[in-house]
Amino acid sequence: MTKSDISQNFTYLNEKCTKNEILLLCKAYDLKVQKKRKDEISKILNEKILQYHVMPCPHELQVNSSVENPSCDSILPYINTSEDTGTATENLPGTSTLDLPSTSSSNLTVSDTITSNLPSISRLDLPNISSLSGSEFQNQPSTSGNGVHLAVRFSRTELYYSYYMSDDNTTLSNVNTDETSKSASARLLTYRGTISDVCVGHDDLIYYEISYAYSIRTELTNYFDKEDILEVGIAERSNVDKYKNAGAAASGWSFNMYYTRSFFYFSYVYINARHNGRSHTAQNLFTTYIGEELHGQLKIFINTRRDEFTVMHNDLKVYVFDEVKSNETLCPVFGVYNPKYVNVQLKILNSLNFSMYAW
């Protein structure tokens, strides 16, 4: 059983596990609930499991092979079953995080946190990865046991001609700021953004983080109108400049943030997944108003071995694209849209290569 089974069927645990096994799972996830019926406990446990994109201490957890029901043991860590499995007061902690290196640090350092959490990445349905093959990423030195740090930057030449970039190529904006300026070498005419200065190979597991900041400056004229704010995606390099956003093409996959007008001068902000001109999901993120500045973070996983592309918004998974493959070179792309309506800035933070690990 995987987390996807639970997310698709909220009665899965109640149907597949005994009450005692469910109580053991509660202990495994440090969940304390009042004594309730089996179905009530299962519902609380479902919500708890889905909160955890990774286990907080994965190096201490092992599958309990003594559990009789094979439907439950794939998410059941080792538990001391000699302890009382009775329940006490309800205690629901907040959503866990990925525990990756601090994004506030401009100088990435190797930490035991990354090492202990490496197996946890597979819980996001990221596959087994072996040695790096054919990657175009330029690797920087790293200490054994961690992901290889990558020098991922925005491309100054593959940039929309009227947009702006910082001198170190880590910040992109659709308006002029103290940090960004126009690039004399920018040559894109259609795509509203830029691409990464390096692209992916055919056997890579790449992770990077993007912080964003934006403020809506103009109210939309009509209700139900919508305007794009930003995009992170992956696309065939040769076709990037044929479309305004990567998800409009069969050769591109993207996650786009956009806003719509609502009543009383508020706007709703959504994020969706796009491919070949179709939207595959839409999640409401914020309610905002003209002039309010919003910040957040996107975590991107590119897995070319399993042809998957995953994005998380503030540690919550948005969507997983599969069948992300091409005979041409695929590159990460980054869009910022509609300077008439919204001021947007994207910044590249941590970037790591886990392709050399055997998962």
Tens-digit pLDDT profile for residues 226-250:
899 999 999 999 999 999 999 999 9
- My answer on whether 165 and 308 are in the same domain is yes
- My answer on whether 77 and 143 are in the same domain is no
Q: How many whole angstroms separate alpha carbon 358 and alpha carbon 39?
A: 38
| Phi, psi of 24, deg, nearest 5 | -65, -40
- My answer on whether 203 and 335 are in the same domain is yes
Mean pLDDT comparison of 109-118, 150-159, 330-339, highest-scoring range:
330-339
- My answer on whether 194 and 255 are in the same domain is yes
Asked whether residue 238 is domain-assigned, the answer is yes
**pLDDT attached to residue 185:** 95
Asked whether residue 105 is domain-assigned, the answer is no
Residues 6+ apart with CB under 8 A from 228: 245, 256, 257, 258, 335, 337, 338
Q: How many domains does the chain have?
A: 2
Alpha carbon separation from 107 to 94, 104, 118, 351 (Å, rounded): 29, 9, 20, 12
Asked whether residue 217 is domain-assigned, the answer is yes
Domain boundary among 94, 124, 157: 94
Asked whether residue 359 is domain-assigned, the answer is no
In tens, the pLDDT along 161-187 reads 999 999 999 999 999 999 999 999 999
Asked whether residue 106 is domain-assigned, the answer is no
**pLDDT attached to residue 342:** 95
Asked whether residue 280 is domain-assigned, the answer is yes
Q: How many whole angstroms separate alpha carbon 74 and alpha carbon 223?
A: 47
Q: What percent of the chain has pLDDT over 90?
A: 43
Q: How many whole angstroms separate alpha carbon 312 and alpha carbon 253?
A: 15
- My answer on whether 191 and 236 are in the same domain is yes
Domain boundary among 38, 59, 94: 94
Residues 6+ apart with CB under 8 A from 143: 110
| Phi, psi of 60, deg, nearest 5 | -100, -5
Q: What CATH number has the domain bearing residue 322?
A: 2.60.120.920
- My answer on whether 294 and 163 are in the same domain is yes
| Number of Cβ atoms within 10 Å of the Cβ of 35 | 10
Q: What percent of the chain has pLDDT over 70?
A: 67
- pLDDT-based confidence at residue 5 (cuts at 50, 70, 90): low
* Strand ranges, E, within the chain: 148-149, 154-159, 164-166, 171-173, 180-182, 193-196, 205-216, 226-236, 252-261, 266-275, 278-289, 293-303, 308-313, 316-321, 330-336, 342-353
- My answer on whether 183 and 48 are in the same domain is no
- My answer on whether 89 and 116 are in the same domain is no
- My answer on whether 117 and 228 are in the same domain is yes
Select from 158, 49, 145 the least CA-distant residue to 95. 49
Helix (H) or strand (E) holding 152: none
Asked whether residue 15 is domain-assigned, the answer is yes
| Number of Cβ atoms within 10 Å of the Cβ of 105 | 10
The reported pTM is: 0.61
- My answer on whether 85 and 185 are in the same domain is no
Asked whether residue 99 is domain-assigned, the answer is no
Residue span of the structural domain in which 77 resides: 1-94
Domain boundary among 94, 120, 138: 94
**pLDDT attached to residue 26:** 77
- pLDDT-based confidence at residue 91 (cuts at 50, 70, 90): very low
- My answer on whether 293 and 184 are in the same domain is yes
- My answer on whether 79 and 123 are in the same domain is no
Mean pLDDT comparison of 31-45, 110-124, 167-181, 262-276, highest-scoring range:
167-181
Select from 235, 226, 164, 216 the least CA-distant residue to 193. 164
* Direct distance between the N- and C-terminal alpha carbons of the chain, in angstroms, rounded to an integer: 18
